[in-house]
């Protein structure tokens, strides 16, 4: 009975400390975030609170202010050579020839210039952390840069501002970025599925002769047991198109499991336009030099 009373009392103390921390912003209650001492005392596993645990974990990481990070530019007299990407700070000293004074990426030093990694705007207007309203492909490229820095450079902390608060806890902007990144991955999967249904054509071009597009059973890097014929595949809501190889036999691509079809593949697909001056069933089509 006494043991149960001790457990209840300790839990109430932990809850009170968390509430105190949330209301007053004090770090005093961080003593209660790690309840391992309670587990040892009682022999029972007591779960921590997710929000206080996030704060606790964040507090173990150095959080730089914008002004602090600005002191790590690699210039003479600076404290080192750091940069931030999506709010995560990395020591890039080993890449001094790229990020130090005179290097092609020196503009990234001492700040978070996440947007410029995909826009190429290496000035004060472009070297900003805001990555909103970027294309799906741009977001995926930023993610590739994140993987690069995590693999090749040393993580040293977080930057207070756009992506993290002064405790190192993720801001709404970071959640928005991660959500947009998920949408970008969904878009990429849809693009890959489309490429499998409508593989890109081979192409060649000469200034004096014009060019041509043609299909093979490996065009677009998609190996298959059919060759197909070239068609213009337009993007929804725009006038842009790419050359796609389409099936000329079997069911349409959107009814691959259908047993009742005209054995014409995608030849009757109204969303696919024939090339001018090219036979509907030709495997190669000329592109005039206009």
User: pLDDT per residue over 119-144, tens digit each?
Assistant: 999 999 999 999 999 999 999 999 99
Do residues 192 and 140 touch, judged by C-beta distance below 8 A? Answer: no
Separation of alpha carbons 170 and 222, rounded Å: 41
Residue that has been written with the tokens 């069933």 in this structure: 281
Instruction: With cut-offs at 50, 70 and 90, classify the pLDDT of residue 147.
Output: very high
Q: Are strands 88-91 and 82-85 parallel, antiparallel or unpaired?
A: antiparallel
Of 91, 33, 21, 61, the residue nearest 170 (C-alpha): 61
Mean pLDDT of the 259-276 span: 90
Point out which residues pair with 73 in neighbouring strands.
81
- At residue 7, what are phi and psi to the nearest 5 degrees? -60, -45
What is the token pair recorded at 228? 């197909």
Would you state the pLDDT for residue 239? 76
- Residue-level length of the chain: 290
Of 148, 151, 167, 150, the residue nearest 159 (C-alpha): 167
What is the token pair recorded at 188? 């990429």
Separation of alpha carbons 193 and 204, rounded Å: 25
Judged against a pLDDT cut of 50, whether residue 25 lies above it is answered with no
Secondary structure percentages of the chain, helix, strand, coil, to 5 = 40, 20, 45
Q: For a pLDDT cut of 90, what percent of the chain falls above it?
A: 67
Would you state the pLDDT for residue 55? 57
What is the token pair recorded at 197? 């249904």
Per-residue model confidence as pLDDT tens digits over 70-123? 999 999 999 999 999 999 999 999 999 999 999 999 999 999 999 999 999 999
Judged against a pLDDT cut of 50, whether residue 44 lies above it is answered with no
Do residues 7 and 44 touch, judged by C-beta distance below 8 A? Answer: yes
Would you state the pLDDT for residue 133? 96
Do residues 261 and 251 touch, judged by C-beta distance below 8 A? Answer: yes
What does pTM read for this prediction? 0.68
Average of per-residue pLDDT values in the chain: 85
Judged against a pLDDT cut of 70, whether residue 45 lies above it is answered with no
Of 10-14, 112-116, 230-234, 256-260, which range is least confident?
A: 10-14
Tell me which H or E stretch contains 155: strand 154-159
Mean pLDDT of the 63-76 span: 97
Residue 283 has what DSSP assignment? S
């Amino acid at each position: 009975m006494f043991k149960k009373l001790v457990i209840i009392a300790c839990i109430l103390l932990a809850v009170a400390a968390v509430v105190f921390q949330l209301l007053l912003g004090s770090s005093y209650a961080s003593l209660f975030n790690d309840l391992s001492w309670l587990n040892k005392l009682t022999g029972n596993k007591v779960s921590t609170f997710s929000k206080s645990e996030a704060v606790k974990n964040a507090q173990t990481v150095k959080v730089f202010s914008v002004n602090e990070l600005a002191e790590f530019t690699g210039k003479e007299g600076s404290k080192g050579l750091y940069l931030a990407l999506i709010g995560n700070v990395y020591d890039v000293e080993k890449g001094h020839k790229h990020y130090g004074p005179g290097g092609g990426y020196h503009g990234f030093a001492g700040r978070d210039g996440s947007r410029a990694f995909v826009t190429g705007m290496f000035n004060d207007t472009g070297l900003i952390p805001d990555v909103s309203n970027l294309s799906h492909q741009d977001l995926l490229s930023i993610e590739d840069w994140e993987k690069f820095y995590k693999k090749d450079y040393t993580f040293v902390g977080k930057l207070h501002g756009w992506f993290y608060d002064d405790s190192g806890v993720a801001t709404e902007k970071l959640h928005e970025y991660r959500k947009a990144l998920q949408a970008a991955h969904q878009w990429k999967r849809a693009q890959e599925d489309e490429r499998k249904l409508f593989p890109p054509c081979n192409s060649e071009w000469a200034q004096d002769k014009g060019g041509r597009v043609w299909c093979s059973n490996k065009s677009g890097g998609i190996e298959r047991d059919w060759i197909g014929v070239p068609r213009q595949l337009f993007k929804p809501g725009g006038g842009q198109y790419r050359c796609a190889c389409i099936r000329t036999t079997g069911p349409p691509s959107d009814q691959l499991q259908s047993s009742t079809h005209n054995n014409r593949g995608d030849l009757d697909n109204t969303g696919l336009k024939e090339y001018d001056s090219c036979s509907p069933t030709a495997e190669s089509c000329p592109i005039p030099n206009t």
